[in-house]
Amino acid sequence: MKLFVSTHPFSSTSAEPMRLLKYNEFDVSLNPFEHKISTQELAKVIGDAEVLIAGTEKITEEVFKNAPNLKLISRVGIGLDGIDFDLCKKYNVRVAYTPDAPSLAVAELCVGMIIDLARKVTFTDKNIKNGIWQRHMGTLLYGKTIGIFGMGRIGKSLVHLLSPFNVNFLVHDINPDIALGRLHKIKYATKTEVLKYSDVISVNLPLKHDTQDYITKRELELMQSHAILINTARGGIINEADLYNALKNNVIAGAAVDVFEEEPYKGNLIELDNVLLTCHMGASTIDSRTDMEVQAVEEAIRFKNGEPFKNEVFDNA
């Protein structure tokens, strides 16, 4: 069975994903461009593959038209915004993904970003390297109110990691987990309440039609002036132009952004000292990357053997 791997890099943190593919006698082709593949590049090279092990690239009709034998997209990771499910139904292509593997890594990055911004770690490091020795007054995380938009796998992991700091949780979620709420004394709140009363807000939502520009100028102006905002979810959920203006004019104290509307990011947020920028690396740990790739390969193996998927998904509504 022919299989194309579009995600890059692949099997670099462990030889196990490639070993599994070879052991199960897949005819494997790898992304030849050695960078995140574009839609146009993918359409040119996918050929007659029956299985696509995909990254975050957009999979459009151009790709489907150039992949007449495609039957499965096995997504390395959790985000599904790059996949058009209407087209998958039209071309009879099934979709699987690996939602569990990256969750803890993304949540840990959130925690690191919160502490970094609260204590001005990166800003001070930059000053010292520029010959400036100046202590900056930060703020404790202990006892603060943490607002979370989206209590999925990553949001729940974040709650578990932050609970020892004796923080209060304000959560806005369309399907509240009442049992988890009781265990961690979570208060489920409206979107406005989370914005108004949180010291830190973490965005952990998928990018869908109703979360595009979920946070704009209006929402940022509802936040407290000392608050910080974390986005490790998807670019487009927070309006980048509005965030830039809010940070520049001290509407909020700081932000950390791991994901952008266009990547690599070259926008004007790079001008500001009160924003921490990383390059879509939430799941970039050796452990998580290996797990994601292995789990994506295991779904391909199940497909080849006619077995049920572990994590099949049917839409991204």
pLDDT digits (tens, 9 = 90+) for 183-202: 998 999 999 999 999 999 99
Question: What average pLDDT does this structure show over 72-95?
Answer: 95
CB 40 within 8 A of CB 46: no
Domains and CATH numbers, the chain: 2-101+285-313 (3.40.50.720), 103-277 (3.40.50.720)
Question: What average pLDDT does this structure show over 164-170?
Answer: 97
Torsion sign across C-alpha atoms 56, 61, 66, 70: positive
Question: What average pLDDT does this structure show over 152-175?
Answer: 96
Among residues 75, 94, 153, 234, which one is catalytic?
A: 234
CB proximity list for 71: less than 8 A, separation 6 or greater: 50, 51, 92, 93, 94, 303
Instruction: Give long-range contacts, CB 8 A cutoff, 24+ apart: 264-267.
Output: 267/240
**H-assigned helices in 121-199:** 121-129, 153-162, 178-184, 191-197
Supply the Cα-derived Rg of the chain in whole angstroms: 21
Q: Residue 106 has what pLDDT?
A: 97
Where does the pLDDT of residue 34 fall: very low under 50, low under 70, confident under 90, or very high at 90 and above? confident
CB 155 within 8 A of CB 204: yes
- Structural tokens at position 138: 């930060």
**How far apart are the C-alpha atoms of 267 and 256, rounded to whole Å?**
14
Q: Residue 111 has what pLDDT?
A: 98
- Structural tokens at position 87: 């087209």
Among residues 280, 293, 298, 299, which one is catalytic?
A: 280
Among residues 136, 160, 218, 263, which one is catalytic?
A: 263
The verdict on whether 280 is a catalytic residue reads yes
Q: What is the pLDDT of residues 119-155, one digit of tens each?
A: 999 999 999 999 999 999 999 999 999 999 999 999 9
Question: What average pLDDT does this structure show over 247-272?
Answer: 97
Where does the pLDDT of residue 310 fall: very low under 50, low under 70, confident under 90, or very high at 90 and above? very high
Q: Residue 317 has what pLDDT?
A: 57
CB proximity list for 175: less than 8 A, separation 6 or greater: 151
Residues of the chain with pLDDT > 90: what percent? 97
CB 79 within 8 A of CB 101: no
> Could you give the C-alpha distances from 207 to 29, 143, 187, 188, 262, in angstroms and in order?
30, 30, 24, 21, 14
The verdict on whether 234 is a catalytic residue reads yes
The verdict on whether 184 is a catalytic residue reads no
pTM confidence score: 0.92
